[in-house]
């Protein structure tokens, strides 16, 4: 049968004119252009079908709130903002790449009791701040605009309103350069963020010499074994006067265990100075610090002495000194016990005027530092006046 089909085909071809065969162009076929059926089937299997394409789901407001309530926050040595995912916005055009809007409040109630004194109850907003953190396009520069809205009796609203107002660059490896209004490190606790403090109040040396913002140029460096912070500032505080003088603040911390990956804890040994001129008066503050952290335990000690100072209350020529020591332990990741002994001499030229504060506290971290409950008991022992007791209850909320 095959022979008959072949003979029939040859006879049929003999009737086709040779010229027609010559005029018919047959396109050359290359091996690479040949597509096998198995390859077509593979492409069809790999190519996604329309019904299989999933469009990213945009979370609703209630879903985002649910994620916030469900999230577990363990870290407590840095601020944590509860609504950061909802209040961070990307900007498509312009020099600013993204902005984060946030707020904070520390409402607190204090009960004071003393010998021969009436018991008093007072309420305070603590720190009531609103801020904007932004990143410039490229990610190397950033800025912060932060404002205080809690009233203070010795400053006007407009003097107290500006807090952190600065721009910063991180282009130099291991360094950060800042220009504007910020909180310089006049002591370790004096320069610490208010959102990571172990107690409602700072120590006496911190709230006398530090916890104040200055306008100037600042350079921070951070390596495995050492970190430092140097800056030159106007000696004005809270925009009371325009450039009444200049001052320098410098602080250095050594980290002997910095290359052990935390196996033996974290140890910091530091010291620094703050000095300058305000009008016709000079001031100089020196301090030293030692702190150790291991797992759930921490302990620290800080000392400072001043021949005149320019802190939160403004310039004074008083010679003062003081120290504090703190210990703390987390019974659970959420529950922390803390205790502190704090001594301060407001004027070394006056005898019998030491002020001592014994503080015991409990911190309960519901959502890290973003939402925590604070309970402090303070026994104030003063050589120049009657002793007193104070109980403070507060809640820290970072949005």
Q: Is the pTM of this model over 0.95?
A: no
Domains of the chain and any CATH numbers:
77-398 (2.40.160.10)
The ranges of the chain with pLDDT < 50 are 1-27, 29, 31-32, 34-36, 40, 43
Other CB atoms closer than 10 Å to residue 182's CB: what's the count?
21
The dihedrals phi and psi of 43, each to the nearest 5 degrees, come to -60, -40
- Spatial neighbors of 33 by CB under 8 A, at least 6 apart, are none
* Whole-number Å distance between alpha carbons of 68 and 125: 24
* Whole-number Å distance between alpha carbons of 257 and 266: 6
* Whole-number Å distance between alpha carbons of 153 and 17: 113
Q: What is the pLDDT of residue 23?
A: 45
> Largest alpha-carbon pair distance within the chain?
134
**Cβ neighbourhood burial of 341 (10 Å; 0-12, 13-18, 19+):** middle
Q: What is the pLDDT of residue 24?
A: 42
H helical segments located in 77-155: none
Q: What is the pLDDT of residue 259?
A: 96
Buried b (16+ CB within 10 A) or exposed e, 285-298: bbbbbbbbbeeeeb
* Whole-number Å distance between alpha carbons of 303 and 323: 4
Q: Which residues pair with 89 in a beta bridge?
A: 99
* Whole-number Å distance between alpha carbons of 16 and 57: 67
Which three-class secondary structure state does DSSP give residue 207? helix
């Amino acid at each position: 049968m095959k022979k008959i089909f072949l003979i029939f085909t040859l006879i049929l071809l003999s009737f086709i004119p040779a010229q027609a065969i010559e005029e018919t162009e047959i396109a050359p076929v290359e091996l690479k252009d040949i597509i096998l059926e198995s390859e077509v089937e593979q492409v069809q299997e790999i190519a996604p079908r329309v019904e299989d394409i999933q469009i990213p789901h945009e979370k609703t407001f209630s879903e985002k709130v649910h994620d916030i309530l469900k999230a577990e926050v363990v870290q407590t040595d840095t601020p944590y903002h509860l609504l950061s995912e909802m209040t961070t916005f990307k900007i498509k055009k312009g020099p600013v790449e993204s902005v984060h809007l946030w707020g904070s409040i520390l409402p607190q109630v204090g009960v004071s009791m003393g010998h021969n004194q009436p018991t008093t109850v007072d309420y305070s907003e603590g720190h009531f701040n609103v801020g904007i953190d932004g990143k410039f396009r490229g990610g190397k520069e950033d800025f912060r605009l932060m404002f205080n809205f809690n009233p203070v009796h010795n400053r006007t609203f407009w003097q107290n309103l500006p807090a952190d107002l600065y721009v910063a660059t991180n282009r130099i490896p291991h360094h950060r350069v800042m220009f504007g209004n910020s909180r310089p490190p006049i002591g370790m606790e004096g320069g610490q963020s208010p959102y990571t403090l172990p107690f409602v109040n700072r120590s006496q040396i911190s709230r006398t010499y530090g916890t104040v913002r200055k306008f100037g140029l600042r350079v921070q460096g951070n390596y495995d074994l050492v970190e430092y912070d140097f800056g030159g500032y106007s000696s004005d505080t809270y925009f009371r006067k325009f450039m009444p003088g200049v001052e320098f603040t410098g602080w250095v911390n050594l980290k002997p265990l910095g290359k052990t990956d935390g196996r033996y804890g974290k140890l910091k040994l530091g010291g620094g100075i703050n000095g300058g001129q305000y009008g016709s008066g000079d001031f100089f503050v020196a301090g030293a610090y030692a702190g150790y952290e291991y797992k759930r335990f921490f302990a620290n000690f800080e000392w400072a002495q001043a021949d005149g100072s320019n802190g939160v209350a403004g310039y004074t020529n008083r010679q003062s000194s003081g120290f504090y020591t703190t210990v703390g332990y987390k019974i659970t990741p959420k529950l922390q016990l803390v205790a502190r002994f704090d001594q301060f001499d407001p004027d070394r030229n006056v005898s019998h005027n030491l002020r001592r504060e014994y503080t015991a506290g409990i911190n309960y971290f519901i959502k890290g530092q973003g939402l925590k409950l604070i309970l402090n008991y303070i026994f104030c022992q003063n050589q120049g006046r009657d002793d007193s007791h104070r109980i403070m209850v507060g809640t820290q909320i970072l949005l």
